[in-house]
Structure 1
């Protein structure tokens, strides 16, 4: 009697599992609503706000929304980094494994796929694909809304210089690409929570909770090395793309930190997934193991990153000091003075001819001129060719802990007071009245 060998059951290929998981995600009404919202709502929001007389001037680039369509996607990017992207990663990556626990379908899936590794890869890739689709929708939709409503005029950078339409497009694109790194880090935390906490709602909320805690930490005064070691800083560091030269140091460091977080959290999720018990229909997560195997390594990452960044960079303290503030304000004033002169049909002058300088103090000179605060005061001086007298203007500065500041003109009125200037895009406020700037926390520019 001949014995016939039983056929070997081979695992389903990752590509087939990926397609299956992607279809499962996109078939959920919640995910479909998110896709529709991300591809339509930003365009409507940006177009509507750009036509308003009252603009979100307290938001970075918000004051330029009715002057150029390139400001809209940057305003949306600032909103997305704080609110939208953490929520999206929670709803997609934070639920991709937990959904099987709620539905009790793990054993059916394991029988069908026959490989823990293939299941993990398929679910991870499918959730990543959906997240990228949502981020792309927000970026493209907000840019289209701004360009259709306002047009592709030049964009004023964070040091006052003008970015042409092509340059603005490239930098807006890079800004949105750069936030993919912290988004991936949050998505990996979502995967970790979904695996470790099972059907517990905390797994779904984990990326939002982590993002909120990190955002609150960024508001606190802390050393530069600690600030850059937190993955949330990458949601802010894109600001450096809109200066000349671009402030790439903090951006590249923060992206590297986020990618390390993404790889580490994903690896931890994979290890927990391989070790979990699929025989229990009432699985409630790994409990204490979720803390020891999940949270502690990520906390250790922060400590290691602080040590490495502190050793590799020259910045100490908050990274905000008197010389940096003075250089930043003087540079922005010089660029914006030329913009104002062109709008008022005055003779053009170069930044070298103006030779603008700034003298800044903090707390009326009673405290050290360093660190964030709303008590900075700068007196800007400049010279015009053929004019003996030296011009001067006063600004009150509110500098946040991440280096962003708003300079508010405090006289003389004919220089930096509030008045409307007629431009090809319509009447605009005097560009020297209020402007946004950025102090590079890791700047190594020589002191002037």
Structure 2
């Protein structure tokens, strides 16, 4: 960094006689300088523009199509309300967008100085490696918050403008008012900030550890991919909740009644612990670095191992703690929980279908809905994820002696989310169109999404 560049950034370039006695530059000035450096990059500007525009256009375009992304959580309700759009964007962002954004922003924040050979100039101007680290970390965090805010705001505005602010059907079939839906959408995006910070901290650690290597740029995306693969496996529930990737999907618990806050809070706390641990490890590596070595290409293997081991130990300790404090065992998907979730969702959606078909109103107490679920056959234990769950739902109508029954095939994911597909009778859960305020829509009992609380007791 030349004296002119330092002065333009608000940093004082010391003279030969002042270098030994001049105090370090204020963190605020260094932060402002690092933020300007980040935002001046064309790729960062392009990402900011895309995050604030593309989600809104996507939600508005999909909302006008005849086919919907029904395989995505809340995708089947995009015609019904604009508040489903930002949740569809959130599901995509947690899987792909946010890991890639953290890679671009945090994965290169230190490595770029190695490639350009500007460390000595920056140290002369700032005179504190620790303040440089803090400023760079805060600048990266600011840009990430701007990107996440753009994704949330654009998806919400696009959905509300194109489709309208209408009630949203929750994951247990109950209706959320537009105001309640908006609040929960906002809270869901706030909760996803925690795993995003964890990946950003991993990016900082990789950028410090790997120096000029492009692997530092890819490390957050690779870690996110590994965590996603782990969440797709039938892991024990205590291990699943001990990984920061779970918080990318745990927000779905906000859209049940009552909200499934236990898994969500654990996922958020675990992600924040990962963020703190990885950031501290990166800071310790950075401040101990020998900046006089122009050929530096990352710390030695011992330092790298010492930085990675705390994360491994944290995951192990968290799994033990979750298991001990919650009593969670196995996959967390048990027969009683599945039956309760399926019956609750059916009862809520049956009342919705009744209103749409202009039939006499009925309460859930009158319906007395129950579900009898098994997994393939009586020879297979009715527990764990799979697409071979079968549920027979029964209900009663006032003044009718006969008991109504409907059959559903359930596909339950390892994280507890499931999709129920109606298998008859067609007059109840078959495909047909019903009249809604938003226009014709498929029968709400035909297919619906649900969520099994992994930490709930089998007896509720």
- Say whether 1:254 aligns with 2:267: yes
Contact 1:197–1:287 at 8 Å: present in 2 too? Answer: no
CA shift, 1:291, in A, is: 3.2
SS of 1:52's equivalent in the other structure is: coil
The match for 2:90 is 77
Deviation by residue 1:356-383 (Cα, 9 ceiling, x = unmatched) = 0000010122200000000000000000
- Matching residue of 2:375: 362
Q: How does 1:190-339 map to 2 (within 5 A)?
A: 190-339=203-352
- SS in structure 2 of the partner of residue 320 of structure 1: coil
1:93 paired to 2:102: no
**Cα displacement string for residues 304-335 of structure 1 (whole angstroms, at most 9, x for unaligned residues):** 11111110002210000000000000000000
- The answer for the alignment partner of 2:23 in structure 1 is 10
Task: Name the CA shift for 1:345/1:92 in 2 (closer, same or farther; >3 Å).
Answer: same
Deviation at 1:8, TM superposition (A): 2.3
> Aligned-pair distance for 1:278?
1.1
SS of alignment partner, residue 158 of structure 1: coil
Alignment of 1:287-436 (within 5 A): 287-436=300-449
What is the CA deviation profile of residues 219-248 of structure 1, one whole-angstrom value per residue up to 9, with x for unaligned ones? Answer: 000110000000000001001000000000
C-alpha contact (below 8 Å) 2:407/2:423 kept by paired residues = yes
Tell me how far apart the structure 2 counterparts of residues 324 and 6 of structure 1 sit (CA, whole Å).
68
- Residue 283 of structure 1: how far off its partner (Å): 1.7
Q: 2:8 corresponds to which residue?
A: none
Q: Tell me how far apart the structure 2 counterparts of residues 355 and 9 of structure 1 sit (CA, whole Å).
A: 77
* 1:138 alignment counterpart: 151
Following TM superposition, by how much is the alpha carbon of 1:280 offset from its aligned partner in structure 2, in angstroms? 2.1
SS at match of 2:418: strand
Question: 8 Å contact 1:197–1:290 — kept in the other structure?
Answer: no
SS of the residue 1:78 aligns to = helix
Q: Distance in 2 between matches of 1:345 and 1:234?
A: 40
Q: Compute the displacement of 1:286 (Å).
A: 1.3
Q: Where does 1:163-182 land on structure 2 (aligned, <5 Å)?
A: 163-182=176-195
- Deviation of residue 445 (structure 1)? 6.5
Alpha-carbon distance in structure 1 between the residues aligned to 2:19 and 2:363: 84
Compute the displacement of 1:68 (Å): 0.5
How far apart, CA to CA, are the structure 2 residues paired with 1:425 and 1:314?
45
Q: Which residue of 1 aligns with 2:453?
A: 440
Aligned pair count?
444
Quick check: 287-296 or 231-240, which moved more? 287-296
Is the CA contact 2:420–2:448 (under 8 Å) kept in the aligned structure 1?
yes
Normalising by the residue count of structure 2, what TM-score does the alignment of the two structures yield? 0.95
- Structure 1 stretches of at least 4 aligned residues deviating more than 6 Å after TM superposition: 4-7
- Answer whether contact 2:341 2:450 (CA < 8 A) is retained: yes
Q: 1:5 to 1:223 in 2, by over 3 A?
A: closer
How many Å separate the matches in 1 of 2:203 and 2:296? Answer: 18
1:386-405 per-residue CA deviation (whole Å, 9 max, x = no partner) reads 11111000000000100000
CA 1:428–1:386 in structure 2 vs 1: closer, same or farther (change >3 Å)? same
What is the alpha-carbon distance in structure 2 between the residues aligned to residue 407 and residue 446 of structure 1? 22
CA shift for structure 1 position 297: 1.3
Provide the rounded CA distance (Å) in 1 between the counterparts of 2:454 and 2:364.
Answer: 24
* Cα distance between partner residues in 2 of 1:7 and 1:224: 56
C-alpha offsets along residues 87-121 of structure 1, whole Å, 9 cap, x if unaligned?
00010011111110011000000000011111011
Query: Could you tell me the TM-score, scaled by structure 1's length?
Result: 0.98
Contact 2:336–2:459 (8 Å) recurs in 1: no
Rounded to whole Å, the distance in 2 between the matches of 1:154 and 1:322 is 31
> Aligned equivalents of 2:209 and 2:123: distance in 1?
18
Cα deviations across residues 128-171 of structure 1 (Å, max 9, x unaligned)?
Answer: 00000000000000001111110011000000000000000010
Written as runs of structure 1 = structure 2, the 5 A alignment for 1:115-130 is: 115-130=128-143
1:283 to 1:412, Cα distance in 2 relative to 1, 3 A: same
2-structure distance, mates of 1:263, 1:7: 33
- Please give the per-residue CA displacement for 1:319-353, whole angstroms capped at 9, x wherever unaligned: 00000000000000000000000000001101111
> 1:157: which partner in 2?
170
